[in-house]
Amino acid sequence: MNTEQIRCQSCSISKLCLPVMLADSEIEHLDNIVKRRKPYQKDEILFRQGESLTHIFTVRSGCLKTFTLDEEGNEQITGFYVPGEIVALDAIGNGTYQSYAKALDTSLVCALPYSKLDSLAGQMPGLRTQLVKVMSNEILDDKALFLLLNKKTAEQRLGAFIMNLSRRYAIRSLSSERFQLPMTQVDIANYLGMAVETVSRLFKKLHKLNLLELKHREITILNKDNLSQFAGTSCHHY
Amino acid sequence: MNTEQIRCQSCSISKLCLPVMLADSEIEHLDNIVKRRKPYQKDEILFRQGESLTHIFTVRSGCLKTFTLDEEGNEQITGFYVPGEIVALDAIGNGTYQSYAKALDTSLVCALPYSKLDSLAGQMPGLRTQLVKVMSNEILDDKALFLLLNKKTAEQRLGAFIMNLSRRYAIRSLSSERFQLPMTQVDIANYLGMAVETVSRLFKKLHKLNLLELKHREITILNKDNLSQFAGTSCHHY
DNA sequence: TGGCAAACTTGACTTAAATCAAGTTTGCCT
DNA sequence: AGGCAAACTTGATTTAAGTCAAGTTTGCCA
């Protein structure tokens, strides 16, 4: 079976995506508007900042990043997206993509024509509710990220970033103790607002503390509890 | 006329709020579910983190802040809300308020019972669209804030914060060159992730550069263009 | 399969902003 | 009106993390 042909009805991540709580007949309507595209290759661009919004995207496999460009043309990464996550929700407000989106890996993606999704949401209360919930959760996640960046040290930020990725994989029934980092350390540093050198040194430190192992791009979390604690409350000031 | 009795139909900020693009008959339906409460007094709490979501709030006058508490019980401010802005959108996802909300000033507020708002959104496409747009815009604003905190120096953050407030007042036809800061410098420092001392010193610096004047709580922006530029691109590295 | 750029590492040095300490000013409450 | 806590200011010192410099390693592709 061609993976491009998987339908919402049988998609393994449908419970994280828009079909949550829809009746079978409703899922079918949703499925009918979904376009499943050829896999995007690493570094392929899905959309560009300023283009007018045509589709909302959901990740089925692989990983995407979104970013803007600053005055000097440097990437400013604004998010990473793993399977089940929805990309471009910030474009709805004024109908224009507000960032670039690029595949970090070969990635399968579902494209939902926004106008069709919107009118379906008008007919299906469950879909409307789910869309609003997904957006509400994104606002919540953004506020959590805000607190992380604003109040925590570099080592807490990196620890929390790894734990956050791990949790997102766990919810998706992917391995949460050992996984491949889909992004480079340069990307992590950019996203977390720190220097690459700092990221490298902190990974070394986390390893020395026996919290995790990093080999090439493969992360193994050795002590989930301690890593969590380290990320949250290693800031003792007595 | 009692200000508590103003209706959506005649509310001066309705064009920034949920009624945008609704037909008159539709606005009436919306107006019917809105509760206008007695003004909240300074420091009065609207809701607490963990309470289950009953109402979404919109600010009519005054100013609110939202915050969470960290392990040690310290406030972590997550947002300030001025007239026309909607509070508690991050609570919809799991039906629980995700922060505390407190009045910074005597504030008039409209309370919208969420279940009623939700079912109205099911009947009125314009309301559904507007709700989704408002949420999308909040996601966008959060991402802009993220970039600000992540990539900019303390002085750019403070400059951008002031310009952001000024712009929000301007949209609401309030004075954008001269206004009363509704929050203390302690609150600003908390929100922007810096020390109060730094905020105080930077206000002094902005004054010395003839960009603004601050007297008690009254801000006068002396050179909007330069302040904007200062906030955005004062980071020369040759 | 070898060359090269991107990714990552390590060490020395610098710096922006935090912390600490000790004020002064403001405005609320009795 | 006067007292007191919160808000704000100013200066001296410290520190976390950035920058700079110079590597080594990895993996792509011609």
How many Å apart are A217 CA and D27 C1'? 12
Checking if the pLDDT of A191 tops 80, the result is yes
Residue A48 distance to chain B (closest CA, Å): 15
Question: What mean pLDDT comes out for the span A121-141?
Answer: 93
How many Å apart are A155 CA and D15 C1'? 15
Residues 10-49 of B with CB under 7 A from strand C: none
User: Could you tell me the pLDDT band of residue A238, with boundaries at 50, 70 and 90?
Assistant: very low
The reported pLDDT for the residue numbered A4 is 60
Q: How far apart are alpha carbons B110 and B33 in whole angstroms?
A: 10
The percent of residues in chain B predicted with pLDDT above 70, rounded, is: 95
Nucleotide nearest to A197 (CA to C1'): C9
Contacts of B121 in chain A (CB under 8 A): 128, 132
Give B108-149 pLDDT, tens digit per residue: 999 999 999 999 999 999 999 999 999 999 999 999 999 999
Q: Which of A105, A100, A116, A98 is CA-nearest to residue A18?
A: A116
Interface A–B counts its CB contacts (< 8 A) at 113
Nucleotide nearest to B156 (CA to C1'): C16
Question: What mean pLDDT comes out for the span A13-33?
Answer: 90
Give B43-56 pLDDT, tens digit per residue: 999 999 999 999 99
CA distances from B151 to A65, A231, B54, B137 (A): 18, 21, 37, 21
User: Could you tell me the pLDDT band of residue B233, with boundaries at 50, 70 and 90?
Assistant: low
Nearest CA in chain A to B191: A150
The reported pLDDT for the residue numbered A236 is 39
Q: Are A125 and B128 a contacting pair at CB < 8 A?
A: no
Contacts of B90 in chain A (CB under 8 A): 136, 139-140, 143
The reported pLDDT for the residue numbered A170 is 86
Q: Are A68 and B98 a contacting pair at CB < 8 A?
A: no
Least CB-CB distance to B98: which of A131, A140, A193? A140
Strand C contacted by B198 CB (< 7 A):
yes
Helical ranges in chain B per DSSP H: 24-33, 114-123, 125-151, 154-171, 185-192, 196-208, 224-233
Residue of least CA–C1' distance to C27: B216
Checking if the pLDDT of B3 tops 60, the result is no
How many Å apart are B166 CA and C24 C1'? 30
Structure tokens, A220:
């193994």
Q: How far apart are alpha carbons B99 and B66 in whole angstroms?
A: 6
Q: Are B137 and A192 a contacting pair at CB < 8 A?
A: no
The reported pLDDT for the residue numbered B15 is 85
- Name the burial class of residue A157, with classes exposed (0-12), middle (13-18) and buried (19+) by CB atoms within 10 angstroms of its CB: buried
Question: What mean pLDDT comes out for the span B183-189?
Answer: 96
Question: What mean pLDDT comes out for the span B32-48?
Answer: 91
Q: How far apart are alpha carbons B33 and B69 in whole angstroms?
A: 32
User: Could you tell me the pLDDT band of residue B4, with boundaries at 50, 70 and 90?
Assistant: low
The reported pLDDT for the residue numbered B225 is 87
Question: What mean pLDDT comes out for the span A127-147?
Answer: 94
Nearest CA in chain B to A237: B72
Question: What mean pLDDT comes out for the span A203-228?
Answer: 91
Helix and strand numbers, DSSP H then E, in chain A: 7, 11
Checking if the pLDDT of A46 tops 70, the result is yes
A7 contacts A13 by C-beta, under 8 angstroms? no
Residue B238 distance to chain A (closest CA, Å): 13
The percent of residues in chain A predicted with pLDDT above 90, rounded, is: 72
Q: Which residues contact B115 (CB under 8 A, 6 or more apart)?
A: none
Question: What mean pLDDT comes out for the span A135-144?
Answer: 94
Q: Which residues contact A12 (CB under 8 A, 6 or more apart)?
A: A173
Whole-number CA gyration radius for chain B? 19
Give B66-110 pLDDT, tens digit per residue: 999 988 889 999 999 999 999 999 999 999 999 999 999 999 999
- Name the burial class of residue A216, with classes exposed (0-12), middle (13-18) and buried (19+) by CB atoms within 10 angstroms of its CB: exposed
User: Could you tell me the pLDDT band of residue B236, with boundaries at 50, 70 and 90?
Assistant: very low
The reported pLDDT for the residue numbered A73 is 85
How many Å apart are B184 CA and C30 C1'? 25
Question: In a mutagenesis test of the B interface, which of A66, A150, A235 is the best target, namely the one with the most B β-carbons within 10 Å?
Answer: A150
Length of chain A: 238
Residue B12 backbone dihedrals phi, psi, to 5 degrees: -70, -20
A146 touches chain B (CB under 8 A): yes
Contacts of A68 in chain B (CB under 8 A): 147
Question: What mean pLDDT comes out for the span A58-71?
Answer: 93
User: Which of A41-55, A72-86, A194-208, B218-232 is least confident?
Assistant: B218-232
A111 contacts A34 by C-beta, under 8 angstroms? yes
Give the global pTM: 0.91
Q: Which residues contact A208 (CB under 8 A, 6 or more apart)?
A: none
Q: How far apart are alpha carbons A200 and A197 in whole angstroms?
A: 5
Question: In a mutagenesis test of the B interface, which of A96, A119, A139 is the best target, namely the one with the most B β-carbons within 10 Å?
Answer: A139
Apex CA B8: angle with CA B2 and CA B14, to 5°?
A: 115
B96 contacts B50 by C-beta, under 8 angstroms? yes
Length of chain B: 238
The reported pLDDT for the residue numbered B235 is 39
